[in-house]
Amino acid sequence: MEARHDLTDRTVPANDPGAAGLDLDAYFRRISYHGERAATLAVLRRLHRLHPQAIAFENLDPLLGRPVNLDLASVQDKLVRSRRGGYCFEHNLLFWRVLAALGFEVTGLAARVMWGQPDETVIPRAHMLLRIALDGETWLADVGFGRMTLTAPLRLAAGVVQSTPHEDYRIVDGGDHFRLQAAVDGDWRPVYHFDLQPQQPIDYRVSSYYMATHPQSHFTWTIMAARPTPEGRFTLSNDRLTFRGLDGTNRQRRLESTDDFVETFRTDFGVEVPDQAGFAARIRATGILKDA
């Protein structure tokens, strides 16, 4: 049967991420959270640290031509019950639902990814992040940005250096938008540009459909995976596995077989590769796996 990408979610109003059917207990078990269930900054910080450490960023479904559905049932089944990872829309829509269920006031935002791009480049708003109003202040949450996924929420305060369990970040006021920058190897590197215009779930479905299916989308022909740990960050870019430690260490190796890919996903990213035969064929067809 042909895979179908449904851009609508008829179970909830268009401007509501929907929490009906959310299994909060299962989510907390998935990320090993055992604390209080309250809309406080301490809870937000702890959830934001635990989520990306437990649920990896990965793009296996777009690579394999499998649908990426953003309704709660699909996202929850994939990221929580099946112990897979996903990309920004899946991560942050799930996180939005969890935070809303705890009583947080959450708004979805969109960003233009600038990582690895000249700062003046104009690209589509193809990334999702969250705005949280809490105790008279505005916070940003983002548990799905790949190799630079935040491991703590950031206060929306321009020009202030903010520490996370991993890198330092700062938000720069760009006039009609804000610029998120990360301190990497002694330099401030652009991560993404964003503004405060609210986005609806349907907006993310349109963006996600393009990212998951268009032949020019790098999600369809490259491998990307990332997971922070208390000691550093694992990153997989095609056949290159990197671990950057908080102590400054940097280890790299090349993956050389399908079995190596499958085991690396399992041990370093906590992900079981679906359809391993199809995966093997795909990474050879794209040239990701180089024949010895």
What is the spatial distance between Cα 222 and Cα 12, in angstroms, rounded to a whole number? 34
What is the spatial distance between Cα 131 and Cα 109, in angstroms, rounded to a whole number? 7
DSSP 3-state of 145: coil
Segment 4-20, tens digit of pLDDT: 344 444 333 344 555 67
C-beta of residue 172 within 8 angstroms of C-beta of residue 158: yes
Residues marked as catalytic: 88, 127, 142
Segment 138-195, tens digit of pLDDT: 999 999 999 999 999 999 999 999 999 999 999 999 888 999 999 998 899 999 999 9
Domains of the chain, with CATH numbers?
A: 29-213 (3.30.2140.20)
